[in-house]
Amino acid sequence: MGVGHVALIPVVRGVDFSGFGPLVSTSTADIWGAAVGNERTVLGWCRDGSCEPPNYGMKTVLSRQTVTITVPGTAASWQVDFFDTTTGTTILSSASLTRQATNITVPLPDFHDAVAFKLHAQ
């Protein structure tokens, strides 16, 4: 396991993975990512979409990015916690979100390289 994998252990600690599966998600053009989850918890990760071979260029900071995730279940209120993917231990920020039909739109905090998040139904 590389350092990045170890850093994300706090993001998954205590998560019940029963019923987890890949979730449909769309994001703003500058980022790339994925989400998995169930009707109670969603785990996601997004990275700078410009970090591609052969140059692996990255922006200094990514701002005003969003990801919209189709989430199973009916929970209307959610909390999202954002994690530093380098250390995994730092919660960068938290926010309350409201489901719109089957989707939750997550406004990401400013980040460099990558950001991880955990959504919890309230």
> In the chain, where are the structural domains located?
3-121
| pLDDT score for 51 | 75
Stronger pLDDT, 86 or 93, i.e. the higher one: 93
Q: How confident is the model at residue 4 (pLDDT cuts 50, 70, 90)?
A: very low
| pLDDT score for 7 | 61
| pLDDT score for 62 | 87
Q: What is the 3-state secondary structure (H, E, C) of 6-46?
A: HHCHHHHCCCCCCCCEECCEEECCCEEEEEEECCCEEEEEE
Among 31, 29, 59, 55, residue whose Cα is nearest residue 45: 31
Mean pLDDT for 74-88 is 90
User: Which ranges constitute the DSSP H helices of 31-120?
Assistant: none
Distances (CA, A) of 29 to 62, 92, 111, 113: 11, 22, 15, 15
Which two three-digit tokens encode residue 29?
A: 């053009």
Q: Tell me what the pLDDT averaged over the chain comes to.
A: 87
pLDDT at 58 > cutoff 80 = no
Report percent pLDDT > 90 for the chain: 57
| pLDDT score for 1 | 38
* Structure confidence by residue, pLDDT tens digits, 15-48: 999 999 999 999 998 899 999 999 999 999 998 8
User: Class for domain 3-121, per CATH?
Assistant: mainly beta
Q: What's the alpha-carbon Rg for the chain, to the nearest Å?
A: 14
Q: What is the pTM of this model?
A: 0.86
- Say if CB 91 and CB 81 are below 8 A apart: yes
